[in-house]
Amino acid sequence: MAIDPEDTLTLALYWKKQNIGTKRAIWNDFLKGVCSYKTLVVSFKRFGLLILLISLCIMRENNRKAHPVKFTDSTDIPVCLNKNAKHHRTMRGLAAWGRSAKGFYFGLKLHLTVDWNHTLQSVAFTAANVDDRVPFLSLNKKLEGLFVADAGYISEQLSALFNTDKRILLAKPRANMKKVATAFQTFLYNQRMRIEWSIRSLKLFRGLVSSLPRSLDGYLGNYACALLAHVIA
> HEC states along 98-141?
EEECCEEEEEEEEEEEEECCCCEEEEEEEECCCCCCCCHHHHHC
Per mean pLDDT, which of 28-42, 102-116, 180-194 is the most reliable?
Answer: 102-116
pLDDT, mean over the chain: 91
Is 231 part of any domain?
A: no
Q: How many Cβ atoms sit within 10 Å of the Cβ of residue 27? A: 19
pLDDT in tens, 101-128: 889 999 999 999 999 999 999 999 999 9
For the cut 70, the answer to whether the pLDDT of residue 205 exceeds it is yes
- Residue 118 pLDDT: 94
For the cut 90, the answer to whether the pLDDT of residue 207 exceeds it is yes
- Residue 178 pLDDT: 63
Residues 116, 148, single domain; the answer is yes
The closest alpha carbon to 76, from 206, 202, 205, belongs to 202
Q: How many Cβ atoms sit within 10 Å of the Cβ of residue 201? A: 16
pTM of this structure: 0.92
Structural domain range at position 202 = 66-210
**What CA–CA distance (Å, rounded) separates 193 from 12?**
28
Residue 1: pLDDT band with limits 50, 70, 90: low
> HEC states along 184-195?
HHHHHHCCCHHH
Residues 36, 87, single domain; the answer is no
The fraction of the chain above a pLDDT of 70, given in percent, is: 97
**What CA–CA distance (Å, rounded) separates 79 from 87?**
12
Residue 190: pLDDT band with limits 50, 70, 90: very high
The enclosing domain of 130 has a CATH number of 3.30.420
Is 219 part of any domain?
A: no
Mean pLDDT across the stretch 192-209?
95
Mean pLDDT across the stretch 193-198?
95
Residues 76, 178, single domain; the answer is yes
- Cα three-residue angle 42-106-37, rounded to 5 degrees: 15
Count of domains for the chain: 2
